């Protein structure tokens, strides 16, 4: 049975002119809309009390389990406004199902797919005015789930809350897409065999912060992690990685400890549609190094919902630089990025039926 949502309107929403000022330069993750979704879960009652309510701070008992043991998962997706004013989102079923897989790993309850999608739809409907238009702007949607049982014993919580908040987002790259250099983490991993690497949980991000600080000190915004043996590529702190060969083949690591990105899967599908060969298999660092040296690997990119696709110009470490930090974006990366964003903003056909409409034209 699907959940019934109640709506309590925010009695003091952000004024129109103040909202328009935010939408003119939203940045990322700093401004939030007038409402949020909450759904509670208990062992006895299951999911209940689904509601859209005014955005605001949570009152939490300091003994809430999530604050101590990190039993938390999240998702990241976007709502896009089209030229006709309608608002759409991209493959929400994929995010709903991935959250169920993350929940299973973190011993959290699974929210049914239709309730997840309805939660997102309700929030975007009530905060429709917060969806920016133009450029590569969007409304970033952040579903998440926390263990809010008040108990310091170590076991899976018996009370949980699912929430969705929304934040207008500008283009990830203010000055257009720019290839980046990334830092190879030799000392630290983000995940290991049998760990939580395939789940979208806050703990994985916590583990990536120190290596990311070290990367920043080397002038790199992002870190590439290897597997625990230090031989195979895994992924960045929050983005998947893909290599492109001179013959057009796309290669991406296959591993149980990386996050199964919706952006990566979609870009690889578009590449296959365009006749590229796609390989999902273990990829060694040596293969990247040798391929760049002999010219058989011509491009690399990182991908995820927030930045869509970021070309990787070079991989740096204390030992070496693979690639050319000044290299421009390659043709395959550029074309795939354009194709995917054209579908997301309704500028191109959607051959796989990925887009889901949330609100009507205006
Ligand atoms: C969210 C995330 C990604 C990208 O996934 P998308 O579904 O493409 O946004 C990649 N790696 C990690 C670790 C992530 O958390």
CA 237/CA 293 separation, integer angstroms: 26
Q: Give nearest CA residue, ligand 1 atom 15.
A: 238
Q: At what angle do helices 262-273 and 331-344 cross, to 10 degrees?
A: 110
Comparing 173 with 289, the larger pLDDT belongs to 289
* Strand 159-169 with 77-81, pairing: unpaired
Return the CATH number of 180-344, one of 3.20.10.10, 2.30.40.10, 3.30.70.260, 1.20.58.220: 3.20.10.10
CA angle 216, 320, 190 (to 5 degrees): 50
pLDDT of 103 over the 80 cut: yes
Cα–Cα distance, 104 to 87 (Å, whole number): 31
Write out pLDDT tens, residues 6-26.
Answer: 999 999 999 999 999 999 999
Candidate from 142, 190, 224, 238 with most ligand 1 atoms within 8 A of CB, to mutate = 238
Q: Where in the chain is the domain with CATH 3.20.10.10?
A: 180-344
Amino acid 172: pLDDT: 79
Res 176: pLDDT: 76
240 within ligand 1 shell (Cβ under 6 A):
yes
5-169 has which CATH code?
3.30.470.10
CA of 327 to the centre of ligand 1 (A): 25
Q: Is 118 helix (H, G, I), strand (E, B) or coil?
A: helix
Query: Looking at residues 194-201, what average pLDDT do you find?
Result: 97
pLDDT, tens digit, 9 for 90 and up, residues 246-284 = 999 999 999 999 999 999 999 999 999 999 999 999 999
Q: For residue 4, list its beta bridge partners.
A: none
99 Cβ below 6 A of ligand 1: no
Please check the confidence at residue 359 and state whether its pLDDT lies above 90: yes
Q: Whole-angstrom distance between the N-terminal and C-terminal Cα of the chain?
A: 32
Tell how far the Cα of 47 is from the centroid of ligand 1, in angstroms: 26
Return d(Cα 51, Cα 65) in angstroms, integer.
Answer: 23
Instruction: For 285-345, give the secondary structure using H, E and C.
Output: HHHHHHHHHHCCEEEEEEEECCCEEEEEEEEECCCCEEECCCCCCCHHHHHHHHHHHHHHC
**pLDDT at site 102:** 98
Residue range 291-303: mean pLDDT, rounded: 98
Residue with CA closest to ligand 1 atom 12: 238
53-95 pLDDT per residue, tens: 999 999 999 999 999 999 999 999 999 999 999 999 999 999 9
Q: What is the mean pLDDT of residues 168-197?
A: 90
Look over the chain and give the mean of its residue pLDDT values, rounded to a whole number. 96
304 Cα–ligand 1 center, Å: 5
Inter-residue contact 334 to 244 (CB < 8 Å): no
pLDDT confidence of residue 221: 84
Which backbone phi and psi does 6 adopt, to 5 degrees? -100, 160
Residues 6 or more apart in contact with residue 129 via CB below 8 angstroms: 16, 19
> Mean pLDDT, to the nearest integer, of 224-231?
96
pLDDT of 173: 72
Domain with CATH 3.30.470.10 in the chain: 5-169
What are the E-state strand segments in 233-290? 233-236, 240-245, 250-252, 278-280
Record the tokens describing residue 100, joined without a space.
């169920």
């Amino acid at each position: 049975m699907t959940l019934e949502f109640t709506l309590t309107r925010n009695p003091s929403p952000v004024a129109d002119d103040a909202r328009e000022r935010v939408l003119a330069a939203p940045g990322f993750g700093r401004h939030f809309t007038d409402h949020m979704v909450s759904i509670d879960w208990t062992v006895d009652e299951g999911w209940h009390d689904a509601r859209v309510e005014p955005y605001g701070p949570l009152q939490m008992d300091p003994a809430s389990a999530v604050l101590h043991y990190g039993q938390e998962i999240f998702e990241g997706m976007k709502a896009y406004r089209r030229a006709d004013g309608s608002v759409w989102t991209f493959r929400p079923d994929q995010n709903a199902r991935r959250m169920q897989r993350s929940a299973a790993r973190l011993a959290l309850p699974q929210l049914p797919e239709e309730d997840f999608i309805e939660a997102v739809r309700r929030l975007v409907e009530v905060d429709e005015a917060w969806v920016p238009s133009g450029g590569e702007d969007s409304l970033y949607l952040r579903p998440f789930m926390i263990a809010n049982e008040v108990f310091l014993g170590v076991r899976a919580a018996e009370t949980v809350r699912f929430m969705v908040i929304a934040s207008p987002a500008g283009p990830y790259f203010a000055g257009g897409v720019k290839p980046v250099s990334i830092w190879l983490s030799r000392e630290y991993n983000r995940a290991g065999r049998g760990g939580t690497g395939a789940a979208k949980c806050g703990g994985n991000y916590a583990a990536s912060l120190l290596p990311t600080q070290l990367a920043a000190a080397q002038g790199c915004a992002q870190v590439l992690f290897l597997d625990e043996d230090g031989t195979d590529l895994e992924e960045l702190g929050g983005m998947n990685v893909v290599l492109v060969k001179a013959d057009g083949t796309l290669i991406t690591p296959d591993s149980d400890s990386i996050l199964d990105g919706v952006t990566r899967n979609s870009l690889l599908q578009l590449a296959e549609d365009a006749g590229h060969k796609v390989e999902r298999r273990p990829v060694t660092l040596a293969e990247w190094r040798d391929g760049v040296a002999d010219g058989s690997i011509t491009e690399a990119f990182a991908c995820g919902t927030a930045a869509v696709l970021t070309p990787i110009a070079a991989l740096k470490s204390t030992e070496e630089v693979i690639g050319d930090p000044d290299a421009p974006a390659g043709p395959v990366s550029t074309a795939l990025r354009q194709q995917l964003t054209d579908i997301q903003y309704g500028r191109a056909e959607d051959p796989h039926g990925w887009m889901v409409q949330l609100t009507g034209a205006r």
